[in-house]
A and B are shown apart, each in its own frame.
Chain A
């Protein structure tokens, strides 16, 4: 795959070259050291699905995956990402364009309203379920603890809690089915 090259427009700041992989695609860029990863993704790569809600790490709207783990893109400088792998909400859907189990669960359970916090929640919950498939059996209070760290002003979280559980169940069922097939 060919890589893309971007140049930071942050005025006449000196720039540094970085190369990273974003959503499976190699990216070469020349960025100002002070450029936040959130701005780099949104304004340089056009990946505007990652939203900026507070720029001090509390709201979680800007959550992406860095090297497989959920992280706040507003608390990360783009230059820190040289050699890293980044995944954003735009990469969640399946190769056929279908919604991922987490995305589908958010729709089924009315886990979003205005949609602004949603990409951050999707990335946090996706990482959570990757790490811990047992969330399906967790209590309501436990799920709430696991998704605390992302703010939503619209939903009152009820739909998000339900969506997290539904997605966990879907993923577990899929895994059990796959395991069963393998064993059979």
Chain B
């Protein structure tokens, strides 16, 4: 007799043993033993190697290009220029078109006639090894007639400024105004207005592994296999199939281990991503291109330069009723990724504050520099810096405490979902904050900081002439954008291990562990018995890519749904095998066990039985063959509308982005001789909804803060007036060592999102977003006794601080 459904305990969710736990990573043992498989580690018999000739001129006309001497060098197999790459000599796709892009320009794989930035690829050499390929590059003679350039974004939009593209007036690629509420009315009734101008300078993702592509063409099967250090193998597969006019089925793109991504590994196709496959097909041998560090600085996309003029309209009590922001966004010489960075910045501009009336306007400006696409944070660090420095300024002008002014404006818990009608986010949908406890986060931060103790310490320090200060910044992050991702779960009949596939890639985020945790709980198996395989279009090719802090939100949700379905199927079959109700079955330790008894059947057997067999290829398989007792019955071995084995596939498409948030504070001291920064405490309150693996979440935050420290005080790409990048090396681009990154104290809130079944929000970029504002705010506070001017331009550095103090003292 069937029991009513509601009484069946097994119909409810299984206990969460692994989900939410600090599980050590499945991927580590291999990586720790030096058995990673990055593109350059893949052994390809007979492989030859590529190198590029790159422009040393920012904007110029190629008046002569002679590759003869290079071609004649022994060991050289091919030299490609725009003249001999056939159909590839075309402008590459504009990946995210937006109606506001009036003058979209993208580059060709190899320059034709003109060069637009230092580093642009002009020729591609393939030789027996990289040494010879570089020898050949140095034997190509190229004559470039320099044209006038303007690398300063503000001057680039002036009348008469040199144009990057002659047919793009004012160097403006795109312009957009967005409105929420009625900013004009808010400013008209404002009791106080604060307007500041802030600037964030150019930086780069600098993953430890530079770009890398390898390709092999199989003339027998007609299959092109491409190994690429990309965040988007499915998208790249689509691009290659269409550029080479191959069936998608005949192009397989694999992102093996990837040594960090941080955004720029999703600007496809880079020149190497099309020329390496071309060479492999033409030469009939595997080809590799491993970008070196000096190339990475002038080839892989950059991000960050924006100049904001932000104005707040407030009541005298500090309630911000309106915001206007007008900013310029430097998109470099091309705009391959559309307006994503500027759009994300513009929609993040009001942060965690109620601010009901917003007008935000931006222009994307071409400059003769490396193209700009998203890098960890994607416009949010800039918008956040503008907003949070403006909030500090408003507090100062109104005589309010920096905590207090934030407290008065934070969106309250009962106001969620909080919609900003009129602001369209990068997913094409209006900004809607789904959930949060902003006030609680700020209160927790204040408590952890022990503000009274700090105030006393600061007073003491000031009495001693020391520069001690506190800075803080709130931030929000729209994460987990669509359109969708998928997940497939399959139980292997021989080993009982669980295989999970998704269309994403991982560059260190630990998917092989956190995704496995979700599945392990549903199926009652150990986390290391769940094997996650992703980043291979030959395995799973429905999906989008890894970006926008979306992997756990979107793929995680899809995988969770697939695991729930797999669990249902397991229980159904196990109930038959064990001849008990599903409600009496517990899935644990890789088996289905009858509750309260020792009777159980392993997952492998359940998987085996679920697949009707003719041949008993091993002992276990006997139970699934046609004459086995389990297969008594009249119908077909595989019932209508069922499928063999335990394999489920589900998709998740978020209704809109889910908004993570947090608040960081730092206690900083500035050295009176060197003006160096010492971060004495760095305190984080962070909320990314349900944490699947807090250890991994904390790793993501810490890494984000480290890049944020770079952007606040160390890392700046310095373009000279002629368009040359002055500091294109790790000697001069100051990526922080451990000594330049503070110890971080982390505290979590977990406000689940209602938008997905696992309650998770993204965590990948969060750490980066507030750091520049925290550090600038802290240093400003530290140097307040000197009466220095405002710090509205990052990265800061000791010289800037020195000069600010000197100027204040001379006033």
Docked-complex contact B695 and A119, CB < 8 angstroms: no
Q: Which of A58, A92, A149, A156 contacts B704 (CB 8 A)?
A: A156
CA distance A51 to B292 in the complex (A): 12
CA distance A125 to B648 in the complex (A): 44
Chain B contact-residue range equals: 35 or more
B476 interface contact, C-beta 8 A: no
B673 interface contact, C-beta 8 A: no
In the complex, per-residue mask of A98-129: 1 if CB is within 8 Å of any chain B CB, else 0: 01000100111010111111110010000000
Q: Which of B43, B131, B208 contacts A117 (CB 8 A)?
A: B208
Q: If A114-B258, A116-B38, A153-B262 touch, does A11 touch B132 (CB 8 Å cutoff)?
A: yes
Docked-complex contact A107 and B25, CB < 8 angstroms: yes
A18 interface contact, C-beta 8 A: no
CA distance A58 to B696 in the complex (A): 27
B529 interface contact, C-beta 8 A: no
Shortest Cβ distance from B695 into chain A, in angstroms? 5
Docked-complex contact B510 and A113, CB < 8 angstroms: yes
Docked-complex contact B24 and A99, CB < 8 angstroms: no
Residues of B contacting A: mostly: loop
In the complex, per-residue mask of A1-41: 1 if CB is within 8 Å of any chain B CB, else 0: 00000000111110000000000000000001011000100
CA distance A99 to B28 in the complex (A): 10
Which residues on B sit within 8 Å (CB–CB) of A11? Answer: 74-75, 127-129, 131-132, 135
Q: If A140-B743, A151-B730 touch, does A59 touch B208 (CB 8 Å cutoff)?
A: yes
In the complex, per-residue mask of A119-161: 1 if CB is within 8 Å of any chain B CB, else 0: 1001000000000000000001101110111111111111111
Docked-complex contact A51 and B209, CB < 8 angstroms: yes
Which residues on B sit within 8 Å (CB–CB) of A117? Answer: 208, 259
B34 interface contact, C-beta 8 A: yes
User: In chain A, what residue has the closest Cβ to B700?
Assistant: A113
A89 interface contact, C-beta 8 A: yes
Q: If A11-B74, A107-B28, A110-B695 touch, does A115 touch B729 (CB 8 Å cutoff)?
A: no
Docked-complex contact A151 and B34, CB < 8 angstroms: no
Which residues on B sit within 8 Å (CB–CB) of A48? Answer: 34, 36, 38, 40-41
Q: If A90-B34, A148-B737, A156-B706 touch, does A108 touch B24 (CB 8 Å cutoff)?
A: yes
Q: If A115-B27, A116-B208, A154-B508 touch, does A159 touch B699 (CB 8 Å cutoff)?
A: yes
B811 interface contact, C-beta 8 A: no
In the complex, per-residue mask of A57-71: 1 if CB is within 8 Å of any chain B CB, else 0: 011010000000000
B638 interface contact, C-beta 8 A: no
Which residues on B sit within 8 Å (CB–CB) of A172? Answer: none
CA distance A58 to B28 in the complex (A): 25
Which residues on A sit within 8 Å (CB–CB) of B510? Answer: 113
Docked-complex contact A34 and B743, CB < 8 angstroms: no
A46 interface contact, C-beta 8 A: yes
Which residues on B sit within 8 Å (CB–CB) of A119? Answer: 34
Which residues on B sit within 8 Å (CB–CB) of A39? Answer: 130
Docked-complex contact A122 and B293, CB < 8 angstroms: no
Docked-complex contact B260 and A154, CB < 8 angstroms: yes
Shortest Cβ distance from A127 into chain B, in angstroms? 16
B343 interface contact, C-beta 8 A: no
Q: Which of A49, A88, A144, A153 contacts B738 (CB 8 A)?
A: A144
Q: Which of A10, A115, A145 contacts B31 (CB 8 A)?
A: A115
CA distance A61 to B507 in the complex (A): 16
Q: If A153-B207, A156-B741 touch, does A90 touch B259 (CB 8 Å cutoff)?
A: no
Which residues on B sit within 8 Å (CB–CB) of A73? Answer: none
Docked-complex contact B730 and A115, CB < 8 angstroms: no
Docked-complex contact B131 and A114, CB < 8 angstroms: no
Docked-complex contact B131 and A116, CB < 8 angstroms: no
CA distance A148 to B207 in the complex (A): 18
B338 interface contact, C-beta 8 A: no
Q: Which of A54, A103, A143 contacts B32 (CB 8 A)?
A: A103
User: In chain B, what residue has the closest Cβ to A157?
Assistant: B738
Docked-complex contact A106 and B28, CB < 8 angstroms: yes
Q: Which residues of A contact B (CB under 8 A)?
A: 9-13, 32, 34-35, 39, 42, 46-56, 58-59, 61, 88-90, 92-93, 99, 103, 106-108, 110, 112-119, 122, 140-141, 143-145, 147-161
Top 4 nearest A-B pairs by Cβ distance?
Answer: A49-B34, A116-B259, A114-B508, A156-B702
Show 9 A/B contacts (Cβ-Cβ < 8 Å), sorted by A.
A53-B210, A58-B730, A115-B28, A115-B257, A140-B743, A148-B738, A155-B702, A155-B706, A156-B705
